[in-house]
């Protein structure tokens, strides 16, 4: 394959979709504008972000995952992306079924729990979420809301609503954009999550993602943030798994004895640039 023909995979985790680069080094000279162009849904391939598999610096890691949002900027971590990258590395023979890999947020462990063709169930480990802090945010309409701020590799602000229907009907883009840019989270901003308890340890949720600057069908780091915030708010039991039902599918979070995120990863197609 000539130097101008570089392979990519299109993947998704619960509808949170990515362009995966099996050989990240082949794209080493490209800048954020290039990656943003790839993610353009009308003029490019279309995706919420770009995943690159790169050689690991640490001998105990199978690879290094680099993640870029749809705006071309690099982000430290992506939960759904991490599951896709782990599945790709396993499918490519880069990593064993149980693996460790590097990210800008540190080393993560992952395991391919099952695989059927281009679909796998993957569990990824996370460091324990940072402390959960309640933040009172004034809103443009003159009201205020209390969000639960927590770092799960990237910052999240979780707003709990009264019911699953309130989550489904809220304007997640407008309100998410307002929370994302709130002065309390300046200058970096935050991701915004909207969630409601639907049954014991089960939550209905939506996420507005910083860097994508839009709602996505699912967010892995957001699911972990929602679980941590729910425990802090007294809405969930830490000792039991927390299910987070997002528009694109359901993610399972465990907080004890260690934090893990479990869900599907799917390869849709591959092509060349």
Q: What is the pLDDT of residue 4?
A: 64
Q: Residue 184 to residues 131, 155, 181, 212: CA-CA distances in angstroms?
A: 16, 12, 8, 20
149 and 243 in a common domain: yes
123 and 11 in a common domain: yes
Q: What is the 3-state secondary structure (H, E, C) of 108-165?
A: EEEEEEEEECCEEEEEEEECCCCCCEEEEEECCCCCEEEEEEEECCCEEEEEECCCHH
The single residue of 14, 39, 219, 266 carrying the catalytic annotation is 219
pTM of the shown model: 0.94
The single residue of 61, 78, 84, 266 carrying the catalytic annotation is 78
Task: Determine the straight-line distance between the first and last CA of the chain, rounded to whole angstroms.
Answer: 11
Active-site residue flag, 170: no
251 and 146 in a common domain: yes
For tokens 């994508």, the residue is 212
152 and 79 in a common domain: no
Integer Cα distance of 123 and 113 in angstroms? 7
Examine residue 225 and state whether it is found in any structural domain, yes or no. Answer: yes
Examine residue 235 and state whether it is found in any structural domain, yes or no. Answer: yes
The per-residue pLDDT string of the chain (273 residues; one tens digit each, 9 = 90 and over) reads 345 689 999 999 999 999 999 999 999 999 999 999 999 999 999 999 999 999 999 999 999 999 999 999 999 999 999 999 999 999 999 999 999 999 999 999 999 999 999 999 999 999 999 899 999 999 999 999 999 999 999 999 999 999 999 999 999 999 999 999 999 999 999 999 999 999 999 999 999 999 999 999 999 999 999 999 999 999 999 999 999 999 999 999 999 999 999 999 999 999 999
Q: What is the pLDDT of residue 130?
A: 87
Task: Compute the 3-state secondary structure of the chain and give helix, strand, coil in percent, each to the nearest 5.
Answer: 20, 45, 35
Name the residue range of residue 85's domain. 7-127+262-272
The enclosing domain of 223 has a CATH number of 3.10.310.10
238 and 148 in a common domain: yes
Integer Cα distance of 198 and 162 in angstroms? 10
153 and 86 in a common domain: no
Tokens for 93?
A: 């023979």
The total number of structural domains in the chain stands at: 2
Could you give the 3-state DSSP secondary structure of residue 29? coil
């Amino acid at each position: 394959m000539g130097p101008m023909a570089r392979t990519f995979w299109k993947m998704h985790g619960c509808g949170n979709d990515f362009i995966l680069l099996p050989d990240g080094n082949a794209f080493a000279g490209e800048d954020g504008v290039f990656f943003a162009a790839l993610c353009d849904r009308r003029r490019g391939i279309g995706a919420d972000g770009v995943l690159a598999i790169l050689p690991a610096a640490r001998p105990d890691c199978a690879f290094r995952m680099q993640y870029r949002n749809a705006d071309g900027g690099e982000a430290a971590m992506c939960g759904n992306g991490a599951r896709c990258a782990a599945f790709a590395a396993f499918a490519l023979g880069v990593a064993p079924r149980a693996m460790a890999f590097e990210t800008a947020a540190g080393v993560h462990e992952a395991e391919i729990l099952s695989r059927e063709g281009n679909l796998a169930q993957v569990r990824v480990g996370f460091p324990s979420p940072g402390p959960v802090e309640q933040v009172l945010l004034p809103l443009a309409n003159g009201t205020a809301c209390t969000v639960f701020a927590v770092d799960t590799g990237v910052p999240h602000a979780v707003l709990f609503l009264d019911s699953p229907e309130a989550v489904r009907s809220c304007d997640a883009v407008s309100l998410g954009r307002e929370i994302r840019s709130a002065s309390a989270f300046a200058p970096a901003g935050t991701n915004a999550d909207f969630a409601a308890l639907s049954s014991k340890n089960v939550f209905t949720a939506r996420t507005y993602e910083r860097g994508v600057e839009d709602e996505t069908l699912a967010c892995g780091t957001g699911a972990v943030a929602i679980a941590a915030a729910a425990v802090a708010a007294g809405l969930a039991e830490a000792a039991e798994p927390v299910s987070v039902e997002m528009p694109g599918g359901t993610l399972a979070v465990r907080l004890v004895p260690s934090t893990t995120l479990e869900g599907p990863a799917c390869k849709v197609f591959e092509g060349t640039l």
